[in-house]
Every structure is written in structure tokens, then in C-alpha cells.
């Protein structure tokens, strides 16, 4: 495909003008750029979801007069979207085989055959065994990402665009995905892979294109640019090295802030016990579906579970999300849709939501001026790219939405913070900043539990790492013992393959 002179603005704000980009058959193009640079917008234009204001789109050497979603589908151009596009109440099989299964003529026999076919797709493509009759809403975010991948790969026959497909994937699933990408490339697909993980350039890329401020500022063969050079192009300056060594200004042996004993929901969380001290950062490692997110959800009452939780020594029995906040226990969820009620609300309100009762009420009235000043300062501190504090958060790019949600919670000074994939979708420049904020939060005495599929990040953040497998904690590592290979081994479990009994 060839994009020539493409321009696009939203509400008078130009994302890019006069952009040229070529996708070649049998080539993987890695598309990089800061949050808000315009990567997802390119994906939306290529897949016909968003119409450009100007410019031409060519497919196979022919100018396409009226490019649209149906035309893209007809030619086998498919995309994996950053915000997943599955129907939560339909089963996995229905989502993947939506065209076939929605036909009313499908009888029960062929329906069973289609379900078998769907299951086979997961095994053949990604080597994943998944009960495809389960509704998508019962799956973890990582599993949903796997479903999204299988669905798109099935619909694609010429061009596949992957918009940050690896943000919720474990190392193992990531490698499986890369194998699939390699196979499709060999079959002659043109592939666009959008990512913030620079190591993925070498892992899957043939060519890189780097975007900044709405333009493609560099293109090169994958091996030509070092990670440092790529960062330079992306950000226009050198990225501050991540604060790997934490300041030693936190209580070495603080009192226990969060104690979890025998947490168990009979399914995804099995007899999980640990404690976290004030000022300590505890990492949870594990493969997709190991139960890390579920543990966090059980602690704040989003998921019913037996067992004991105590915050600062006070038992917390009737766990509910709203009550958790009152007790200083905060969950920063990996699933932005959990924050759905807020997505159409202005940025300012999104940042100040947890503070309203404390800070901005004066005689029962909301002090809008103070609220806005406060929100403005916070989003600037987190380097959120936005037009107006009145824009809905849904109009921000994926990474910038994530920054708003982090700004909201990290700054509300909680006792215990549960962070689920905190830097998901966040570019390298802002990532270092967010890690710095997490360190500062711990230095102020908060106890932190962090889940991250990015193992190097998890190791740089954590004082201690627990490894989970199938709902259980199977290993623990102190900081001196951190070793990626050992952690991965503990996560995948020796003898796991085939020994499901």
C-alpha cells in the first residue's frame, strides 16, 4: 500500500499533513513515535476507519477512489486495535468467526464444527489452548489480546496492522506472536507493527519508521539505527536514563502496610499470601493468565474471594471497591474500560475525580477554578498532550489516556497502591518519568504492588518479586537474586507442557 500526501485534522488540530508512507509485501514495518504522534491515526486511515482530509491511498499500484472499511476488508487489510474491539458478551468463537456464526442458516452441527475450528485456530496460530465457548468478558486482558490477534490474522490476506499488540502479553505469548508475524511475512503480507518496545525492532522488523510531531522523521532498515538513535529521533533529545538505583531514602524496615493471607477464589487465585511494608515495591511476575490481575482485583473487592486482607494492621473483610478507596487502597487498573464511566468526561474532571470531596469543595460547592488549576498542573507534570482540559479523555491518544489515569491515582497520596501494567502504551520518554513517580510514591511511605509484563521494568521497579503460576505464588526473589532467566523459568514452570493433569 502507498499513502501519498495524507493530511488529517481533528477539530482543527492537525495530526499530520502531507504524510507519505509505503508498505511493501513481505516486509514488517515497525512504526514508532511518542504518545500522540499519530500512529493509531495511520492505522485507522489504512483500515478505512478514518477518512483522510486529503491525499491518496494506493493498493497494489492502483489509486483507490473511495477507500472505506468495507473496501479494506474486501482486499484483506485487517488491523489489531489498541483499544480492543471484541464483543464482551459473545463467546471467543463467535468473536473470531463472527461472519460465519452470525449467519442464521448455521445449524447446531455446523456450529459445533465451527467451534472446533475456532479452537484449532488458537492452537495452530499461537499454540494456545483456550476454551472458545467462554464469553470474552470472562477473559483476562492478555487473553483478550490473543483473541483479537487471532481474529485479525484470520481476516487479513494482504496487509496486517498491529497497534501495540504486545502491551498485555507475556514474554511467551509475545514470542508466539512474533513467530506468526514471521510466517505471514514469508507468505507475502505487508505488516505494520506499532510498538513502544524498542527491542521489538530487532525482534520482528525489517524497516523502521519514526514519527514525531505528525511527520515521519526517519526511515531505515531495522538494523541501521541503535536504540539510542531511535529515541533521539522520537523525542528529539536524549532520554534520561531510568533511575535504576533507587534513592535510599525510604524506611528500610517499615511497618507492614498490606497483609494478604490465604486469598482464594477457588479458580484464578489460589491460596495467595504476602505482605508489603511501607515504602516497599513488590512486583508480581507471571505469564498471561497466571492470576496477577485477579489477585489485585480480589484485594480491592472487585473479585469475590475468601481469605484475609489487612491494611495497616486493620482487618478488611467486606471488601468493595468504593470502601477500598476510603481505606487508602487504590487500584490503577490495566483495563481502561474499567474507568469507562469517565471516558466521555473532560480531562480536568478525570484527574480530579478522587480528590473532589477533599480539596475542591467550599461550603458544599465545587470550586471549578481551583479544580482546573490543579488538574492543569498535574497533567502537565505527567506530560499529557492535549488541546483543552475540556476535551473528553476519549479524544486523547492511548498513551495519553493512560497518563491521565496514572496522574489521577498516583497523586492522590494513597497508603497502598496496586499498579496493573502502569506503563502500558507509554512511550520511552514518559516511561522513565512514570517509574520515577512510582519511586517517589514509595519514598513517601506508600506500599506498592506492581504487575508488569515488561520484565526489565518489573526488575528495575521492584524490591522483591513474587512469581505466580496458575493462581499460586510459586517463587520469590529478593532484589539481589533478580535474574530474568530464573524468573521466566519459575513463571513458565518446569514440566508445565502437557502435564496439565
List all residues 6 or more positions away from 457 whose beta carbon is below 8 Å from its beta carbon: 423, 431, 435
Task: Report the distance separating Cα 303 and Cα 325, nearest Å.
Answer: 15
- Interface characters, 7-36, with ligand ATP (x: CB under 6 A): ---xx---x-----------------x-xx
Q: Identify whether the C-beta of residue 386 lies closer than 8 Å to the C-beta of residue 379.
A: yes
Cβ closest to Mg ion, residue 43 vs residue 151:
43
Residue 433 neighbours by CB distance under 10 Å: 18
Strands 365-366 and 361-362: antiparallel
For the chain, the helix, strand and coil percentages under 3-state DSSP, each to the nearest 5: 40, 25, 35
Measured at CB, which residue is nearest to Mg ion? 40
What is the total count of residues that contact ligand ATP (CB under 6 A)?
20
Tell whether residue 37 is a contact of ligand ATP (CB under 6 A). yes
Cβ closest to ligand ATP, residue 197 vs residue 482:
197
Three cell numbers written together for 190:
505487508
If DSSP codes are grouped into helix, strand and coil, which group holds residue 437? Answer: helix
Cβ closest to ligand ATP, residue 430 vs residue 468:
430
283 contact choice in ligand ATP, Mg ion, none (CB below 5 to 8 Å, kind-dependent): none
Q: Identify whether the C-beta of residue 310 lies closer than 8 Å to the C-beta of residue 316.
A: yes
Tell whether residue 40 is a contact of Mg ion (CB under 5 A). yes
**Which of 490, 497, 493, 455 is CA-nearest to residue 174?**
455
Task: Report the distance separating Cα 210 and Cα 200, nearest Å.
Answer: 14
Cβ closest to Mg ion, residue 40 vs residue 195:
40
52 contact choice in Mg ion, ligand ATP, none (CB below 5 to 8 Å, kind-dependent): none
Cβ closest to ligand ATP, residue 36 vs residue 142:
36
Three cell numbers written together for 446:
506508600
Task: Report the distance separating Cα 328 and Cα 413, nearest Å.
Answer: 8
Tell whether residue 400 is a contact of Mg ion (CB under 5 A). no
* 53-91 core/surface letters (b: 16 or more CB in 10 A; e: else): eebebebeeeebeebeeeebbebebbbbbbebebeeebb
Tell whether residue 165 is a contact of Mg ion (CB under 5 A). no
Q: Identify whether the C-beta of residue 490 lies closer than 8 Å to the C-beta of residue 469.
A: yes
396 contact choice in Mg ion, ligand ATP, none (CB below 5 to 8 Å, kind-dependent): ligand ATP
Tell whether residue 192 is a contact of ligand ATP (CB under 6 A). no
Question: Taking the complex as a whole, how short is the minimal distance between the CB of residue 227 and ligand ATP, in angstroms?
Answer: 17
Cβ closest to ligand ATP, residue 41 vs residue 293:
41
Question: Taking the complex as a whole, how short is the minimal distance between the CB of residue 301 and ligand ATP, in angstroms?
Answer: 31
Three cell numbers written together for 63:
489509486
Site for ligand ATP in 283-342 (CB under 6 A): none
- Interface characters, 397-426, with ligand ATP (x: CB under 6 A): xxxx------------------------x-
278 contact choice in ligand ATP, Mg ion, none (CB below 5 to 8 Å, kind-dependent): none
Cβ closest to Mg ion, residue 82 vs residue 423:
82
Binding interface with Mg ion (CB under 5 A): 40, 82, 398
Binding interface with ligand ATP (CB under 6 A): 10-11, 15, 33, 35-41, 82, 385, 395-400, 425
Amino acid at each position: 500500500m502507498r499513502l501519498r500526501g495524507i493530511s488529517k485534522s481533528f477539530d482543527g488540530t492537525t495530526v499530520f499533513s502531507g504524510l507519505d508512507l509505503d508498505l511493501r509485501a513481505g516486509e514488517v514495518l515497525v512504526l514508532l513515535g511518542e504518545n500522540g504522534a499519530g500512529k493509531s491515526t495511520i492505522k485507522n486511515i489504512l483500515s478505512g476507519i478514518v477518512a483522510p482530509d486529503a491525499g491518496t491511498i494506493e493498493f497494489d499500484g492502483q489509486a483507490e477512489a473511495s477507500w472505506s472499511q468495507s473496501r479494506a476488508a474486501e482486499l484483506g487489510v485487517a488491523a489489531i486495535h489498541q483499544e480492543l474491539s471484541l464483543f464482551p458478551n459473545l463467546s471467543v468463537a463467535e468473536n473470531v468467526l463472527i461472519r460465519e456464526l452470525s449467519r442464521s442458516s448455521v445449524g447446531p452441527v455446523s456450529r459445533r464444527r465451527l467451534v472446533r475450528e475456532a479452537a484449532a485456530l488458537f492452537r495452530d496460530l499461537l499454540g494456545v489452548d483456550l476454551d472458545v465457548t467462554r464469553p470474552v468478558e470472562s477473559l483476562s486482558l492478555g487473553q483478550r489480546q490473543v483473541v483479537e490477534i487471532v481474529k485479525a490474522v484470520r481476516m487479513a490476506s494482504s496487509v496486517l496492522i498491529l497497534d501495540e499488540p504486545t502491551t498485555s502479553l507475556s514474554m511467551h505469548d509475545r514470542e508466539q506472536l512474533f513467530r506468526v508475524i514471521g510466517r505471514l511475512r514469508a507468505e507475502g503480507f505487508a505488516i505494520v507493527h506499532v510498538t513502544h518496545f524498542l527491542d521489538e525492532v530487532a525482534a520482528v522488523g525489517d524497516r523502521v519508521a519514526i514519527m514525531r510531531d505528525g511527520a515521519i522523521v526517519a526511515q531505515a532498515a531495522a538494523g541501521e539505527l541503535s536504540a539510542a538513535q531511535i529515541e533521539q529521533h522520537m523525542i528529539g533529545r536524549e532520554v534520561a536514563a531510568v533511575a535504576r538505583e533507587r534513592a535510599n531514602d525510604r524506611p528500610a524496615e517499615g511497618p507492614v502496610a498490606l497483609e494478604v493471607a490465604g486469598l482464594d477464589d477457588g479458580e484464578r487465585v489460589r491460596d495467595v499470601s504476602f505482605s508489603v511494608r511501607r515504602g516497599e515495591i513488590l512486583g508480581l511476575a507471571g505469564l498471561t493468565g497466571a492470576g496477577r490481575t485477579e489477585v489485585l482485583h480480589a484485594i480491592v473487592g472487585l473479585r469475590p474471594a475468601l481469605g484475609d486482607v489487612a491494611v495497616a494492621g486493620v482487618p478488611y473483610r467486606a471488601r468493595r471497591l468504593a470502601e477500598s478507596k476510603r481505606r487508602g487502597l487504590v487500584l490503577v487498573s490495566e483495563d481502561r474500560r474499567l474507568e469507562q464511566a469517565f471516558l466521555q468526561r473532560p480531562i480536568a474532571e478525570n484527574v480530579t475525580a478522587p480528590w473532589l470531596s477533599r480539596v475542591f469543595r467550599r461550603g458544599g460547592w465545587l470550586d471549578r477554578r481551583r479544580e482546573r488549576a490543579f488538574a492543569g498542573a498535574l497533567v502537565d507534570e505527567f506530560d499529557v498532550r492535549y488541546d483543552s482540559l475540556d476535551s473528553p479523555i476519549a479524544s486523547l491518544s492511548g498513551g495519553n489516556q493512560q497518563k491521565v489515569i496514572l496522574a489521577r491515582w498516583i497523586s492522590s497520596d494513597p497508603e497502598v497502591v496496586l499498579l496493573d501494567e502502569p506503563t502500558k502504551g507509554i512511550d520511552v520518554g514518559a516511561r522513565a518519568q512514570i517509574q520515577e513517580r512510582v519511586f517517589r510514591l514509595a519514598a513517601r511511605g506508600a506500599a506498592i504492588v506492581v504487575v508488569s509484563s515488561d520484565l526489565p521494568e518489573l526488575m528495575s521497579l521492584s524490591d522483591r518479586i513474587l512469581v505466580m503460576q496458575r493462581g499460586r505464588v510459586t517463587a520469590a526473589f529478593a532484589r539481589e537474586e533478580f535474574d530474568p532467566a530464573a524468573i521466566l523459568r519459575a513463571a513458565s514452570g518446569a514440566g508445565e507442557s502437557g502435564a496439565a493433569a
